[in-house]
Structure 1
Amino acid sequence: MKEKVVLAYSGGLDTSIIIPWLKENYDIEVIAVCANVGQEENMEEVYEKALKSGASKAYVDDVSEEFVTETIFKAIKAEAKYEGKYLLGTSLARPIIAKKLVDVAHIEGAKYICHGCTGKGNDQVRFEASIAALDPSIKIIAPWRIWDIKSREDAIEYAQKHNIPITVTKEKIYSVDANLWHISTEGGDIEHLENEHQNHVYKKCLPVEEACDEAEYVEIHFEKGVPTKVNQKELSPVEIIKELNNIGAKHGIGVIDIVENRLVGMKSRGIYETPGGTILYEGHNILESATLDKEALHFKQMVSLKYGELIYNGLWYSKLRESIDAFIEQTQQNVSGSVKIKLYKGFMKPAGIFTTNALYDESISSFGESDLYDHKDAQGFINLFTLPLKIQSMKDEKINNNQKDLELDKEVAVDKAI
């Protein structure tokens, strides 16, 4: 009986040529697995294409609900961003896909898992780190680190020689990753930093020049940091993302063009479209600003940076990420209420916070009198707060005066010597 390999299959250029390549170079049975994380493709066509390309069996399963509840919602609560900008659309999907690959490998008795990630990318690390955490006995086959194909142009030629239908051409050579949360576009003319990216790269969002001419308000309700309603309508986790994607996209919300530091050591440039996610992060941030105390908020901001790095680096299944989650969950106990946001031409504006958990108190924060705060108390507070600065200044002045005296003594001594 032949050994089996589970292939992370998308139906795109790389994974389409991997099936015949595996069959040519390994005496092995290929089982294609496509995890639907909301990439809006015809899954029936993906299934048929896998079999026609030579896979003995294909799994096409919808894991979009798990994608939202198990990774996206946790990232929102943490407000995790990589390098302060990237909302981790690709990174967040990888742990869910990896889990599906391992589950199928166990069902099929496969000893190998194969992926189509390039040797220069982050995804190879993310997949293999997750697989190692879930089942370290599974061996990895990574064709891009083995075969003679060196570029996407070479991959296109291989596909054409083997009569594999593909949509990518040498003229439109962008690498696109799409899921419910985002769409990323890399490669082609984008690789040249001097080039302004063109509007034709957008797959989801309208360019701001073509966005709606009228502003729109959207209201999001959160329960302990988790979004549950949009415009006062209760929706499922997947429906919330879809609804906000549609709303944000028509207003040109959520497009970023960034140069990021890849895990493998190089910089890369990508265009990311995350309309719904950008709105959700903004809404959560606004609500948290009113409901989380200063020390917890400031410490959480530092933790969020690390959380984003862990996700980006493929360490979702690490003890540190799980431990940080425990802290994040505690901070979210009072992050409940609704936030209204005004959307217009790529911009967002806070338009109202509605919560019974706000730490903001108008009677204290206003310029008027308050039983809890006497303006006169500020004098003593400022005296104590500025005491270290005063001491340091006095000390510096004394040191400077001593230094001047020494220099003067030296000058006098020189004059006497002369």
Structure 2
Amino acid sequence: MNKKEKVVLAYSGGLDTSVILKWLENTYDYDVIAVCVDVGQGEDLSAVKKKALSTGAIKAYVVDVKEEFVTDYIYPTLKASAIYEDDYLLGTSFARPLIAKKLVEIAEKEGAVAISHGATGKGNDQVRFEATIKALNPLIKVIAPWRIWNLKSREDCIDYALQNNIPIPVTKKDIYSRDQNIWHLSHEGGNLEEPWNEHDQSILKMTVAPEKAPDKPAFVEIQFEKGIPVAVDGIKYNPVDMIYKLNEIGGSHGVGIIDIVENRLVGMKSRGVYETPGGTILFEAHKALEKLTLDRSTLSFKKTISEKYAQLVYDGLWFTPLKEALDGFVDSTQEYVTGVVKLKLYKGSCSAVASASPYSLYNEAFVTFGEDDVYNQKDAEGFINLFTLPLTIRAIMKLKENSEINVKKQVI
């Protein structure tokens, strides 16, 4: 008997991957190895593993990578201040390279000839998965069912699941596409596909609606060491527990909800609702601390780097030379981003109200409106004269030109 070839499937137990598991068996006669990568989905992954085996997988892995996700993917992006299109904190984007990395590792271990994923042919995730696979092991074949099968919609998938006795977690009435990890929860599809529809606040799961948040503001202090958060309200946490703690705090005050239309890598626009309570707190705190500790030129140039970094992450180009080079620059800027930031949380808003650092570049002796002995205000006159010298010269030339024109007019 010929031994079947193996395929590794990125498996979540949701509608798409449940259908794909059975479809791979029916279409290619592969032995399917289901891999569920735990990035903090908050699900019963033992049940997911059991479901994969009962659906037909010959083996099922559950790989806990939450700490690696936080330290090696979330923290670098936080230090880089990377926000895609000024709104999106990249929750799905930087989870995909890590998931794909684990798929490659298991495919190599199991001798699988292919990796399959449930990303659609319209989205960004197909690029993120496959760019990582090509960067790490281009010899492994990729199977993307949404690009080749004859199922055209999630409704079709539901019908396929029913025909093949596959238990599914959605119905045609609750048809939102969601992605959750320790950092965020995204909602797409359904009535969100019409941008004029206001999202229904009942879809929120990590946060309360801002209107239902407490009437009294809360304050939280975040301590950083070299750009990395290490404590909340003076209590040290490991990376995973810290994110969970901040999600709890931010979520209870309606912090971190965005409803945006974004530009996908493949060229179309999409609309989604994202919940990122703990991440929003960390980004606001980090931004405030950088303003205290980075000089003007570095802070200004880092904004350019941040925008490029966010685009690389969004586009799935995590394992690239440019990303590695940008990490080197970012790490150098974080050498003195150490200190504490106090934030105020109130009905969806999150704002820094105080900051302190042993490396603060703020010097009260220089900026005080009171009398001081360190700054001679008369020096400002010479500075202004030199700073505005190009303007002065330009104005003189214009005056001279106008004068010559007037003389010519008088002669005529």
Deviations 1:258-301 (A, max 9, x none): 11100000000110000000000011111111111111111111
| Aligned residue in 2 for 1:326 | 328
Task: Tell me by how many angstroms 1:393 deviates.
Answer: 3.3
Q: Secondary structure at the match of 1:91?
A: coil
| Aligned residue in 1 for 2:290 | 288
1:249 to 251, 260, 267: 251
| Aligned residue in 2 for 1:41 | 43
Q: Percent identity?
A: 57
Residue correspondence of structure 1 range 295-310 to structure 2 within 5 A: 295-310=297-312
Task: Tell me by how many angstroms 1:10 deviates.
Answer: 0.7
Give the distance between the partners of 1:150 and 1:390, measured in 2 at CA: 67
TM-score, with length taken from structure 1: 0.95
Summarize the Cα distance change of 1:4–1:376 in structure 2 as closer, same or farther, 3 Å threshold.
same
Deviations 1:394-415 (A, max 9, x none): 4445556777889x79xx8xxx
Which amino acid in the other structure matches residue 201 of structure 1?
I
Task: Tell me by how many angstroms 1:372 deviates.
Answer: 3.7
| Aligned residue in 1 for 2:271 | 269
1:50 aligns with 2:39: no
Task: Tell me by how many angstroms 1:386 deviates.
Answer: 1.4
Task: Tell me by how many angstroms 1:370 deviates.
Answer: 3.8
1:97 aligns with 2:99: yes
Task: Tell me by how many angstroms 1:111 deviates.
Answer: 1.6
* 8 Å CA contact retained: 2:284, 2:351: no
Residue correspondence of structure 1 range 384-395 to structure 2 within 5 A: 384-395=386-397
1:220 to 219, 222, 237: 222
* 8 Å CA contact retained: 2:220, 2:233: yes
Task: Tell me by how many angstroms 1:103 deviates.
Answer: 0.7
Q: CA RMSD in A?
A: 1.6
Deviations 1:76-95 (A, max 9, x none): 11111001110000001111
Which amino acid in the other structure matches residue 245 of structure 2?
E
2:313 to 311, 314, 322: 311
Summarize the Cα distance change of 1:134–1:401 in structure 2 as closer, same or farther, 3 Å threshold.
farther
Residue correspondence of structure 1 range 1-400 to structure 2 within 5 A: 1-396=3-398
Deviations 1:145-181 (A, max 9, x none): 0000111111111111112111212221110000000
Summarize the Cα distance change of 1:230–1:390 in structure 2 as closer, same or farther, 3 Å threshold.
same
Give the distance between the partners of 1:362 and 1:116, measured in 2 at CA: 56
> Structure 2: which 5+ runs fail to align?
none
Summarize the Cα distance change of 1:401–1:122 in structure 2 as closer, same or farther, 3 Å threshold.
farther
Deviations 1:44-95 (A, max 9, x none): 1100111111111100111000000000011111111001110000001111
Which amino acid in the other structure matches residue 205 of structure 1?
T
Give the distance between the partners of 1:181 and 1:238, measured in 2 at CA: 10
Give the distance between the partners of 2:281 and 2:202, measured in 1 at CA: 23
TM-score, with length taken from structure 2: 0.96
Runs of 4+ residues over 4 Å off in structure 1: 396-406
Task: Tell me by how many angstroms 1:345 deviates.
Answer: 0.6
Summarize the Cα distance change of 1:19–1:400 in structure 2 as closer, same or farther, 3 Å threshold.
farther
Give the distance between the partners of 1:230 and 1:33, measured in 2 at CA: 34
